[in-house]
Amino acid sequence: MDKSSEKYLHGFSSEEQAKLHLQNDILGPHIYEFIRLDQVSRMLEIGCGTGAQMRYVMQNYPQVHITGIDLSAEQLSSARVHLEAETAFTNRYALRQGQGNELPFATASFDCALMVWVLEHVQNPEALIAETHRVIAPGGWLYLTEVFNNSFQHYPQSPALEDFWSKMGEFQEFLGGNGNVGIRLGAMCAKLEHTTLETRAKTLYFDAAFPRQRTEIWNYWIDLTESASRQMIAAGKISSSYWQKVRRELAQLRDDPSSAFYYSFIQCRLQR
Ligand SMILES: C[S@@+](CC[C@H](N)C(=O)[O-])C[C@H]1O[C@@H](n2cnc3c(N)ncnc32)[C@H](O)[C@@H]1O
């Protein structure tokens, strides 16, 4: 089992689990610009977590049946609660507990597979991608969306936040993950059999010209870093007072009418 399964950067509390859905309401429209699901009927999501992507897919693509697999029983029970609450989703999904490196599905079982914010948490992303590729039927699609944390920039400078951001990257590596895995997606996928391979960097840039989106993304960033900070405090990597200073700087950036936010995540799509 991956080290990431035992300790996970953002934790498994119910507060964190509910947040994943709210966060996806902000990022979902950006993520799915690159993902075409109109022709898809049997879809697999590896690392489905609390079901935020499954919910987005079922809301927007009524013909899709989606199977979500995750190694965490806690995440899956939260997914169950969230998805069962929507009667429109009845009979349109399945949830399985399992390891992405050894999928319990026959070769070529799905016409599409999706991974969003998963490879950053695993020790061997290539093995996970290769196993996912195995279960996609010829002509089917693989969609990957991943972090590239070195792309994060902001104005004005914020020394405590910058220090925290680099400590968070080190902590993620300590847990067996990689906060810059996005930049490797194209190279990892190029090794697999494919007819089409495309990548893109999706930049989120919000400054004084986009005040609503800027506030929204800073609030998202506060939530994201706060969940990581809890795990880092519990592991003795930072203190609460250290985090409080970072938190104050983040709030200042959010409330500063001249601030700017810049981040790029990376996406890859491959057709077999
Ligand atoms: C950040 S969450 C992303 C959840 C979901 N994809 C989303 O976008 O909301 C990452 C999830 O991947 C799961 N995970 C990590 N490594 C895995 C593996 N090797 N196999 C299956 N699931 C894994 C974790 O348990 C966690 O639920």
* DSSP secondary structure string for all residues of 176-231: T--TTGGGGHHHHHHTS--SEEEEEEEEEEE-TT-HHHHHHHHHHHHHHHHHHHHH
Label residue 25 by pLDDT band (50, 70, 90): confident
Distance CA(15)–CA(155), nearest Å, equals 30
pLDDT at residue 242 greater than cutoff 70: yes
16-20, 30-34, 129-133, 236-240: range with lowest mean pLDDT: 16-20
Residue 109 CB less than 6 A away from ligand 1:
no
What are the tens digits of pLDDT across the range 157-213? 999 999 999 999 999 999 999 999 999 999 999 999 999 999 999 999 999 999 999
Tell me which of 118, 144, 181 to substitute to probe ligand 1's pocket, judged by most ligand atoms within 8 Å of the beta carbon: 118
Residue 168 CB less than 6 A away from ligand 1:
no
The pTM of the full predicted model, rounded to 2 decimals, is 0.93
Residue 246, CA distances (Å) to 164, 251, 261 in order:
7, 9, 16
Distance CA(171)–CA(225), nearest Å, equals 12
pLDDT at residue 26 greater than cutoff 80: yes
Q: Tokens 């609660």 — which residue? A: 81
The residue whose CA has the least distance to atom 26 of ligand 1 is 49
For the chain, the average pLDDT equals 94
User: Per the structure, how many domains does the chain have?
Assistant: 1
For residue 248, the enclosing domain spans 3-271
Distance CA(212)–CA(257), nearest Å, equals 11
At 144, give phi and psi (nearest 5°): -125, 135
Residue 72, CA distances (Å) to 61, 125, 245, 267 in order:
26, 18, 32, 24
Contact (CB, 8 A) for 143 and 44 = no
- The predicted pLDDT at position 17 comes to 61
Residue 189, both tokens: 């996928």
Query: Percent of the chain having pLDDT more than 70?
Result: 92
For residue 170, count other CB atoms closer than 10 A to its CB: 12
- The predicted pLDDT at position 6 comes to 43
Residues whose CB is less than 8 angstroms from the CB of residue 224 and which lie 6 or more positions away in sequence, other chains included: 10, 23
Residue 236, both tokens: 């003795």
The whole-angstrom distance between residue 173's C-alpha and the CA centroid of its chain comes to: 16
The whole-angstrom distance between residue 79's C-alpha and the CA centroid of its chain comes to: 15
Residue 261, both tokens: 């936010």
What are the tens digits of pLDDT across the range 251-271? 999 999 999 999 999 999 999
- The predicted pLDDT at position 5 comes to 41
Residue 72 CB less than 6 A away from ligand 1:
yes
Q: What's the 61 CA to ligand 1 centre distance in angstroms?
A: 22
Question: Nearest 5°: CA angle at 46, between 42 and 48?
Answer: 100
The mean per-residue pLDDT over the stretch 81-90 comes to 95
Residues whose CB is less than 8 angstroms from the CB of residue 118 and which lie 6 or more positions away in sequence, other chains included: 46, 47, 100, 128
Residue 165, CA distances (Å) to 65, 115, 201, 239, 245 in order:
38, 24, 20, 15, 13
* CATH assignment at residue 223: 3.40.50.150
The DSSP call for residue 150 is G
